[in-house]
Structure 1
Amino acid sequence: MTSDVGAQADKAYGLYLGGLRDGQWQGFHEVLADEVDLVWPYPPSAGHYTGADGRQKLMVFLDQFGDEGNRIVESEVLLRVIDGDRVIFEDHGKGTLFRRPYEGRHCIIFVMSDGRVAGFHEYTARVA
């Protein structure tokens, strides 16, 4: 079970990073469960959202990362931990955010259920 959860989360994480790089989110949207427990760190929409509303808000929030002014073009995974149905990725990313240079460390937790992302919790520390 653990290896399946890890492989499923790795696939979803790859689709997530692809969306951050090129703004193409369809693949990641397809691996989201119908209901998502979302913890979103970025104001003005920072907060905790659940259910179908959590899924919809995550899709809308991520779609903001698609134009050339909002892209994470480099990402290095620093840590990956599997704990039951949770897979934790700590990474370091660089790119642009609101058309300004961006560098940050992120902790992204996927809660997997039936091969899909049922939880997306992100915690961020901006470096530059």
Structure 2
Amino acid sequence: MTQDSENTLKVARQAFDNLIHGLATGEWEPLLDMLTEDFTLWFPMGKFHGLNVGKERTREFFEYAFECFTPGLKLTALDRVTSNETTAVFEFRDEGTLFGQPYKNRVAVSFDVRGDKICGYREYFGSDGNSY
């Protein structure tokens, strides 16, 4: 593993931990503090479908996600982590309550890393039940 690969994985792991914490608690500042000003977020459906640019749009996205899953979403398994010099992908399972209904899913999130910041996020889901 190269030094760049090790850094990417370290930064992405911290971002992933902050993501899981945010989904469970609604506290997004630790994750938002890790984002570059030109951060991009790609989401596969709903009101945030497609490409979203900037920290404020990202804040809206994560706050909306937490509202959808109130009282919070729990990680039940981290199945796989794959990374290279610039990107890390986390495949996991989660469960909780989505708009008052039981929810569980398999999700993959990808973090693009630049230095010690996250410059991009992509999310893919839908193989295990409901999605938002």
Q: Return the TM-score normalized by structure 2.
A: 0.86
| Secondary structure of the corresponding residue to residue 127 of structure 1 | coil
Displacement of 1:44 in angstroms is: 2.8
Q: Which residue of 2 aligns with 1:81?
A: 82
Residue 61 (str. 1) matches residue 61 (str. 2) = yes
| Runs of 4+, deviation exceeding 4 Å | none
Give the SS at the match of 1:69.
Answer: coil
Code of the residue aligned with 2:62 in structure 1: it is L
SS at match of 1:5: helix
Structure 1 length normalisation: TM-score? 0.88
Runs of 5+ in structure 2 lacking a partner?
none
Counterpart for residue 128 of structure 2: 127
Change (3 A) 1:103 1:126: farther
Measured in 1, the distance between the counterparts of 2:98 and 2:76 equals 14
Distance 2:59 2:34 in 1: 11
Q: Check whether the contact 1:69–1:100 (CA below 8 A) recurs between aligned residues.
A: no
Aligned to 1:27: 30
Root-mean-square deviation (CA, aligned residues, Å) is 1.6
1:70 positional shift: 5.4
For 2:12, the equivalent position in structure 1 comes to 9
1:100-123 per-residue CA deviation (whole Å, 9 max, x = no partner) reads 111011110000012111000001
Segments of structure 1 that go 5 or more residues without pairing to the other structure are: none
Percent of pairs with identical residues: 19
The structure-2 alpha-carbon separation of the partners of 1:57 and 1:75, relative to structure 1 and needing over 3 Å to count, comes to farther
| Alignment match, 1:39 | 42
Q: More displaced, 91-100 or 37-46?
A: 37-46
In structure 1, what is the equivalent of residue 100 of structure 2? Answer: 99
| Cα offsets for 1:6-54 (capped at 9, x unmatched) | 111101100000000111111111011111121112313211123x3xx
Aligned residues between the structures: 125
Contact 1:85 1:111 in 2 (8 A): yes
C-alpha separation in 2, matches of 1:70 and 1:127: 20
